[in-house]
Amino acid sequence: MSKLESVETLVIGSGPGGYVAALRSSQLGMKTAIIERSQLGGVCTHVGCIPSKALIAESHRYHLLQEFYPADAAVSFKDAQLFKQGIVNKQAGGVHYLLKTAGVSILEGEARLVDEHTAIIKQMGQEQTITFKYAILATGSRPIELQAFPFGGRVLSSTEALSLPEAPASLVVIGGGYIGMELGQMYAKFGTKVTILEGGERVLPGFEAKLAAPVAKQLKADGIDIVTGATAGKMVQNSASITLHYSKNGEQHQVTAEYALVTVGRKPNTDGELGLDRIGLNVSGRGLIGTDKQCRTAIPHIFAIGDITAGPALAHKASYEAKVAAEAIAGYASEVDYKAIPLVVFSSPELASVGLSETEAQAKAIPVVVGKAPFAINGRALALRETEGFVKVVADPISGIVIGAQIVGVEASTLISELALAIEMGATVEDLAMTINPHPTLGEVIMEAAENAVRKMMLKSK
């Protein structure tokens, strides 16, 4: 076994957590290495955010062409896959370039911790050791596999669903969370007959019912069958199709499709070879590593970030923690503050939420003032033929400080950033209402929702 040089910061995993941590660590003057067992960029770049959004954007363009200019609708799913792969390659190349130019050593192979300051890197039968002063664990997560529906054959995880060579004639999605909705709607737009089986009362349970409703309506308009309160029980598959048996209200039903896509959540990569047990680092029942406000684990010089820690499994949460962990190692007093992590569903219409919702405030008996405005009469939304949805701003009723916001509608994913900034800066609804927005733009709807809240506060104080 050969020994590599020793580093100050060793980062394990190169997703949006790991590569951002390595960059920041190196930029702050620490000798840094990053280890990746698969592809630089992690899940987000290769089988998550980037390829899914590329295919979703293509499906949107295809759908629009079909709807408004059918004679020109020449885009095929194969073209969309090529487009997607091009983008993935560019992004992965970008990660490599950034790490290289920042002076980070990139090591290929699987990392295993053998003691609190040593890891073994295994690649193609070869083993090397590396020693470190600090480590940042960023090993991410993988799709949860259901015992009754193991991946393989006609049962897909999100990873395979992103790489089908053709849009299937039919698809059953098990799980009504955001990944299932996004991929299901993407395929529906390419002409696939999609059925969604969800165990709960409605799809997108993480969002307020009124917010998720326009999305559910559009999913139905796209020809998607949504079966709620459904428990998938068993499957029978052959070389061409799969039949899923499920129960609903005590009755047995079945649905047959070309593929079944299982999207019931993700499992942290904290088991297996990583060796947490060897260094005495415990994980929760769900496999998550506990951390403090600086992303420090129970072993003070070892940090953990991203999908292996508590909180939403999202790329921007991983990158945010990455910066905090690297800065903490460099001796800065950086700490995480999760009050403004945006959650986005890239459905049509898009869904986005940041901070507290009205429903959460009610459940916690927190008094709030809520301002709301629709896209329906916004000039830009009309021009874009995207008038569905609304913006909701949630604020403290006395100070007007923004504590949450939700958007369902066109470009919700982009618009939510202004509201995240408002929360981060401690801005008030008056600040949002008095910000001069260019006309005609979608941002005016945020301004109007804030004006609505300000009006309510003014009337109450009279």
The yes or no reply on residue 23 touching ligand FAD (CB under 6 A) is no
The yes or no reply on residue 176 touching ligand FAD (CB under 6 A) is no
What x/- string results for residues 325 through 364 when contact with ligand FAD is judged by CB under 6 A? ---------------------x------------------
Q: Which of 7, 11, 30, 35 binds ligand FAD (CB under 6 A)?
A: 35
Q: Which of 168, 306, 389, 404 binds ligand FAD (CB under 6 A)?
A: 306
Q: Which stretch binds ligand FAD (CB under 6 A): 6-14, 80-88, 209-217, 432-440?
A: 6-14
Find the shortest distance in angstroms from Cβ 358 to ligand FAD: 24
Which residue is nearest to ligand FAD, using beta carbons?
140
Q: Which stretch binds ligand FAD (CB under 6 A): 48-56, 82-90, 388-396, 443-451?
A: 48-56
Find the shortest distance in angstroms from Cβ 40 to ligand FAD: 8
> How many whole angstroms separate alpha carbon 244 and alpha carbon 252?
11
The yes or no reply on residue 444 touching ligand FAD (CB under 6 A) is no
Active site residue 245: no
The yes or no reply on residue 12 touching ligand FAD (CB under 6 A) is yes
Give me the torsion for CA of 303, 309, 311, 313, rounded to 10°: 110
Closest to 185 (Cα-Cα) out of 198, 171, 206: 171
Q: Which of 25, 118, 185, 269 binds ligand FAD (CB under 6 A)?
A: 269
Q: Which stretch binds ligand FAD (CB under 6 A): 7-15, 64-72, 164-172, 279-287?
A: 7-15
Please give the order of strands across the beta sheet that includes 259-262.
Answer: 155-156, 259-262, 170-174, 193-197, 225-227
Cis check: omega of the bond before 440, within 30 degrees of 0? yes
Q: Which stretch binds ligand FAD (CB under 6 A): 43-51, 198-206, 219-227, 348-356?
A: 43-51
Find the shortest distance in angstroms from Cβ 263 to ligand FAD: 8
Q: Which stretch binds ligand FAD (CB under 6 A): 31-39, 80-88, 251-259, 422-430?
A: 31-39
Quickly tell me which residue has 């490599």 as its tokens: 96
CA torsion sign for 296, 301, 305, 307 is negative
The yes or no reply on residue 44 touching ligand FAD (CB under 6 A) is yes
Residues 216-235 that bind ligand FAD (CB under 6 A): none
**Residue closer to ligand FAD, measured from CB, 342 or 389:** 342
The yes or no reply on residue 48 touching ligand FAD (CB under 6 A) is yes
What x/- string results for residues 94 through 113 when contact with ligand FAD is judged by CB under 6 A? ----------------xx--
The yes or no reply on residue 268 touching ligand FAD (CB under 6 A) is no
What x/- string results for residues 119 through 148 when contact with ligand FAD is judged by CB under 6 A? -------------------xxxx-------
> How many whole angstroms separate alpha carbon 452 and alpha carbon 458?
10
Q: Which of 9, 26, 32, 52 binds ligand FAD (CB under 6 A)?
A: 52
The yes or no reply on residue 316 touching ligand FAD (CB under 6 A) is yes
Q: What residues are labeled active site?
A: 439
Which residues would be at the binding site for ligand FAD (CB under 6 A)? 12-18, 35-38, 42-44, 48-49, 52-53, 110-111, 138-141, 158, 179, 269, 273-274, 306-307, 313-316, 318, 346
